[in-house]
Structures are given as structure tokens and as C-alpha cells.
A and B are shown apart, each in its own frame.
Chain A
Amino acid sequence: MKIAIASGKGGTGKTTIATNLALTLANAGTNVQLLDCDVEEPNCHIFLKPEIESATPVTVPIPKVIEEKCTGCGICAEVCEFSAIAVVKKKVLIFSELCHGCGACSLFCPEDAFIEVPREVGAIEKGYADGITFTQGLLNIGELMSPAVISEVKKSAGDPDVLIIDSPPGTSCPVIEAVKDAEFILLVTEPTPFGLNDLKLAVGMAKALNLPFAVAINRSDIGDDAVAEYCRRENIEIFLEIPNDRRIAEAYSRGEMVVRELPEYLETFKTCWDRIRAFSEKETSSKPDSDGTAKEA
């Protein structure tokens, strides 16, 4: 079972939920893997303190010109939709940070004058902590290609009973890369106007991707009832509510796990998991195989 923890708004508690859910499952003897796909600001490691066993660079292919073959015709610059190539005085200039790696330049070069070389944009690190198999991605500072790093993190997925994906905030390309093949998304929010506005955006994204989802409300007593009312109106289920407990905020600030410091919350996360599992069992039994799962894992 592959579940993603996502949110429109940042700082709602995705990482807290992803790590504590993983530890709750691992404590119960479940084979669980956690992927930190927030590659711009990965934070799961602060809480899990995993032993990192390997680090691998993430590269994207970028074009390189074989000068002897190039005639300076300029077709490569014409077919590049990302302005990553300019041809000035018959010389090809490549702006590699802008390259999306689509391969148009080498595909359409009439002289076959391009080769592709790897360019490092980040790294993935694999490790292990308290029964949880762990991978995180780290985008190099100044790089734009978060989705390339996220995609590498996801390739490290083994075949655990439960795979938990901690996704970046927002609703655009990095988030889509992180959640697109999940079987279920837990959308984390808080009961405030910002939380509600951004939850609506995240719901729109989940619907656009045709993925089943439910909501988690963090610090559930700090604001108003608008989020709960919205969920009721839209028939969206709320699978987890975490109160605004100062002890949680303090444990978080020190990089400690909630279920370890405050074991009374183990039951909260366990209940959330039971709901996700029950929901997914209902989904799979009511849906034919060919539907919605066109992408292979």
C-alpha cells in the first residue's frame, strides 16, 4: 500500500504525521518504508535520525555539442522550448540549469552532433531507523529540477507492506511527481482560513489526478470550524485530528517523535492507519483492476 502525505499549505504537519505514522506501523511489526520527497527542505531525518548507509548523486542528462560535427545551423535552439540553447555566431551555447532533458536538440540535430552527459542536481540518501527503511532526496542549492530528484527517491522504493511518501508543500510539479502514483493521499491542514484555502487547492489537485484522499486536521482546536464544515459539505472524510498540544510543539521543536515522547498519541495514529486501510480495502474491492491504476509502480 502506497500512501502520500501532502498539503497545499506548508508547515501544517506533513512530516510529523509521516514520521509518526511510519513509527507506529513499524512498532506494530509492519514492514514500512518512508520516502522523504520534500527534496527542497527534507526534515524527516531530523526526527528519525536514521543511520545513512549510502548516498548517490542524482543526475539529469544535458546536451553537449561535439564541436567537429556542429555546423552552427541553429536547429537545436529553434526546437528547444525552454530557451536552454542559443546559437551565436555559429557557436552553440547551452544553459544547463534551464534544460528539461527532453532530448529535442539531439533528436533533431541534422548532423548528429549532440551527446548527452549527466549533470548532478542533487542526491539521494538511504538508511534505516527503528525498523523503518528510509530514503530522502536533497536538491542541490541553486538547482531548479526538484522533480528529477523526487523521481529518483521514488525509484528507491522496495516492496514494503506500507510505503509512506512525505511530499513537498504546494500543488505544482514537485508535488505531482511525489504523489502521482500513490494509492491514497492524506491531505494535512489546519483549521484556519489559510489552511482551508490551501486545502481546497490540494483537494483540486487530488481530484485532477483521480486519486482517493482524506483529510488530517492538525492543531485542530486553534482556529474555527470552517475546515470541518467544508469537509462535511464536500463529503470528505477526516481520518486524523491532532489537538494543539504544547507538548507536541515542544517535542517537534527538539526533533523528537510524538509517539515516543507522548505514547498516548500512539492510538491516534493507529486509528488513522486503520481508517486508511479500511478505506483502501473498500476501494480495491469496488474497483475493477484496469481502472485508475494504469501507471505501473
Chain B
Amino acid sequence: MKEIVVISGKGGTGKTSIVASFAALAGKAILADCDVDAADLHLVLNPVIERREDFSGGKKASIIEENCIGCDRCIEECRFDAISYPDSGKADTPRVNHIFCEGCGVCFRVCPADAISFEPAVNGEWYVSSTMYGPMVHARLGMAEGNSGKLVSQIRQEARSIAEKENLDYIIVDGSPGVGCPVISSITGADLVLVITEPTLSGRHDLLRVAELTSFFRIPTIVCVNKWDLNADITGQIEQEAREHNVRPAGRVRYDTSVTGAQIAGTSIIAFADGDVSRDIRNLWNSVVTTLDGGAA
């Protein structure tokens, strides 16, 4: 069983559309949507939810008003400015703003009056679902919630255990943009990272940062320039620079309006149109498989 993670650095380069097509091509595979901030894979794979679990990213503090003696020790020690009086006057007890609460528990521990509760907060849900292409693990993070890295780890862990149980060949992970917490959680220990970029200076800049990240974690990495024909010169430059960073260009996908068409139809590009762009994605998937099975990265 092999795990491939698709990320991009820059957002909106086509990760999810390509992952959905991989799902259609991969055979015995499980999908994991680890872009938990803005999960979209379900919009094209139409999963039927079979199991749902609460996600707790950590604990949150709350003031127990009847116990509060108004000493303000919690306000003094909170480094995240998460505790304050609701209005300018001091008539009331302080309140914890859960959006800014980091879950460190300092207030709970300094309170001399047992006036702070500190309990696991439910801030999302994750699902095990079935799709026409196989099982899928995905999630929904609550509004304005943090700790997406922990949720990503849970999704990957679940995907791995299902893949082992059902003896699947591939785990295909749809990652998130950037190089921070959720991205790091989604790539550590993976067999291969595929970076989807676009032929723009921004795409090139962001690819180089991602390449630095995957090399930091020593994960073999390949790259695909999506919509490459929008700027063939920059595509060439990106591929050249990628090679210099030990990132092998594994394919190109051309610009085609049927990619948006497939999304609106709620299906994968492969299922939507059997044209040139589908052929590009098939070639890319074949290249991924060769790399995974042969270790040619």
C-alpha cells in the first residue's frame, strides 16, 4: 500500500479536480480530503456518509459565572488576549472568547476560585464515506476553529487503517495550500508528494517553498504544471528549476474549460469528458504509479 499526497503551495491550482480524476483511475484506492479548511472533494465524488465522528482539537476554557470572584488573574495570565469583560464597565464577570482561546489551560490553573471549566471542545466532524470509486475519509472543521493539523492526522490515520483492512493499493490525499501546520501534518511519512502548480510567477515562487518543505521532511516529490499552455515559457522555467531542486516533472495538464464543466456537473474530469485533458491526467496518474511502484522519483 502506497500513500500519495497532492499539494500545491499556492491555492486554486487544480489539486482537487486532479485528485477526483485520480480516484476514477486508481482502482483499489481510498481518498482522504485533508484540505479541512476548505474541503471540496465531496462536491465531485458525492460520498454517502457511513460513519461520522466528532472531532475535538483540544480543550477550551469557560468562566463559571457564579464562582467568579472577579480577581482577574485569568486575564493577567492569558497570553492570547482571549479573556475580557464583555462591556467597558466592570459590572459583569469576564468571558472567554472561544475563537481566540488557545486551549492552554493557564486560566483554569491560576483561578483561585474554581471558576473556570476546561473541557474538550467539539470543533468539527469527520466522516467515513463510500463513493463510486471507493471509500473516502473527509471532514468538516467548525467555523473559525483552529488545530486543523490534528484533524488532518486523524483523517490520514483512519484512511490508513481502512486501506490496511481492505487491502487497498493506494491512499490518495488531497492536501491544503500553504506550507504550514495542516500541510506538514498531511505529508509527514507519505511515500510521495505530487505538487500541482500553475505557469505563473506566483506558482513558481510557491512551488519552490513547497519543494524546500518536502526536502526538509525527506519526502520524494514530483511536480505537474496544470494549465501549462497558458504560459509555455514559465512552464519550462518551473520544470527546469524543479529539477534543480530534485523535484521531477511528472506530467503536464493543459488548460481546458471542461475542467470547470466537470465541477459544475459534480463529477470527475475523466467521467465528464474523454478528451485531451483526460488523456493528460491519465498520463500523469501513470507516471505517479510508476514512481510509487518503481521508486523512480
Interface status of B115 (Cβ within 8 A of chain A): no
- Is A290 a contact partner of B88 (Cβ separation < 8 A)? yes
Q: Is A144 in the interface zone, CB < 8 Å from B?
A: yes
Task: State the Cβ distance, A25 to closest chain B Cβ, in Å.
Answer: 22
Separation of A141 and B212 alpha carbons in the complex (Å): 7
Q: What is the number of residues of chain B that contact chain A, defined by CB distance less than 8 Å?
A: 66
Is B134 on the interface with A (CB-CB < 8 A)? Answer: no
Q: Given that A103-B79, A224-B264 are known contacts, is A201 also in contact with B13, CB under 8 Å in the complex?
A: no
Is B43 a contact of A194 with CB atoms below 8 Å?
A: yes
A225 → B minimal CB distance (Å): 11
- When chains A and B are docked, how far (Å) is the Cα of A44 from the Cα of B103? 33
Contact B87 A173 (CB under 8 A): no
Given A142-B184, A176-B144, residue A46 in contact with residue B213 (CB < 8 A): no
CB contacts under 8 Å to B, within A192-238, are: 192-194, 197-198, 201, 204-205, 207-209, 222-224
The segment from A3-11, A126-134, A275-283 that touches chain B is A3-11
Q: Are B59 and A81 in contact (CB under 8 A)?
A: yes
Q: Would B84 and A294 count as touching, CB distance under 8 A?
A: yes
Interfacial chain A residues near B216, Cβ < 8 Å: 141-142
Binds B, one of A27-35, A66-74, A155-163, A245-253: A245-253
Within 117-163 of A, Cβ neighbours of B (below 8 Å) are at: 139, 141-144, 146
Query: By the criterion CB–CB under 8 Å, are B177 and A10 in contact?
Result: yes
Smallest CB-CB separation from B105: which chain A residue?
A: A81
Closest residue of chain A to B211, judged by CB?
A141
Residue A171 at the chain B interface, CB threshold 8 Å: yes
Inter-subunit contact A41/B105 (CB<8 Å) = no
Complex Cα gap A107–B176 (Å): 36
Among A41, A82, A198, the residue within 8 A (CB) of B10 is A41
Give the contact stretch, choosing among B155-163, B200-208, B243-251, B268-276: B200-208
B103/A142 in contact, CB under 8 A: no
- Chain B residues with Cβ below 8 Å from A198 are 38, 40
A55 within 8 A of B: no
Partner of A250, one of B38, B230, B264: B230
Q: How many Å lie between the Cα of A109 and that of B60 in the bound state?
A: 22
For B201, list chain A residues within 8 Å (CB): 46, 253-255
Q: When A40-B179, A253-B234 are in contact, do A12 and B38 touch as well, CB less than 8 Å? A: no
Nearest B residue to A169 via CB reads B11
Stretch at the interface among B24-32, B62-70, B145-153, B285-293: B145-153
The answer to whether A192 and B181 have CB atoms under 8 Å apart is no
Query: Per-residue 0/1 for B45-84: is the Cβ within 8 Å of any A Cβ (1 yes, 0 no)?
Result: 0000000000000110000000000000000010110001
Contact A40:B264 (CB < 8 A) given known A10-B12, A81-B104: no
Contact with A along B165-183 (1 / 0, CB 8 A): 0000000000011111111
Tally of A interface residues using CB under 8 Å: 59
Question: Given A9-B12, A141-B209, A209-B99, does the pair A174, B88 have CB atoms closer than 8 Å?
Answer: no
Q: Which residues of A contact B146 (CB under 8 A)?
A: 172-173, 176
Q: Kindly state whether residue B139 has any CB partner on chain A within 8 Å.
A: no
B interface, over-half SS:
loop
Q: Mark B5-45, 1 if CB is under 8 A from A, else 0.
A: 00011111100100000000000000000000110100110
Contact in complex: B11, A10 (CB < 8 Å): yes
Q: Which residue of A8, A41, A100, A201 is within 8 Å of B104 (Cβ)? A: A100
| B279 interfacial by beta-carbon distance below 8 Å | no
CB distance from A100 to the nearest CB of B (A): 6
State the CA gap A194–B33 with chains docked (Å). Answer: 14
Task: Flag B201-244 by CB within 8 Å of A: 1 or 0 each.
Answer: 11001100100110011000000000000110010000000000
**Is B94 positioned at the interface, with any CB of A under 8 Å from its CB?**
no
B73 to chain A, nearest CB (A): 11
Can you list, as one digit per residue, whether each of B82-125 has a CB less than 8 Å from chain A (1) or not (0)? 00100110000000000110111110011000000000000000
B13 to chain A: closest residue by CB: A11
User: Which B residues are in CB contact (< 8 Å) with A175?
Assistant: 37
On whether A201 and B58 interact (CB within 8 A), knowing A11-B12, A208-B144, the answer reads: no
Chain B CB within 8 A of A50 CB: no
Residues of B within 8 Å of A171, CB to CB, are 37-38, 141, 143-144
User: Which chain B residues have a beta carbon within 8 Å of chain A's beta carbons?
Assistant: 8-13, 16, 37-38, 40, 43-44, 58-59, 77, 79-80, 84, 87-88, 99-100, 102-106, 109-110, 141, 143-149, 176-184, 198-202, 205-206, 209, 212-213, 216-217, 230-231, 234, 257, 260, 263-264, 266
- Known A81-B104, A142-B217; 14 more pairs at CB < 8 Å: A8-B38, A10-B10, A11-B198, A103-B106, A173-B147, A193-B40, A193-B44, A201-B37, A223-B260, A223-B264, A249-B230, A252-B200, A254-B200, A254-B231
19 A-B pairs (CB sep. < 8 Å)? A40-B179, A41-B205, A43-B205, A107-B109, A139-B180, A146-B181, A170-B38, A172-B144, A176-B100, A180-B99, A193-B264, A197-B40, A198-B40, A204-B144, A208-B143, A252-B200, A253-B199, A253-B230, A255-B202
Among all A-B residue pairs, the 5 with the closest Cβ atoms? A10-B11, A11-B12, A170-B37, A102-B104, A40-B178
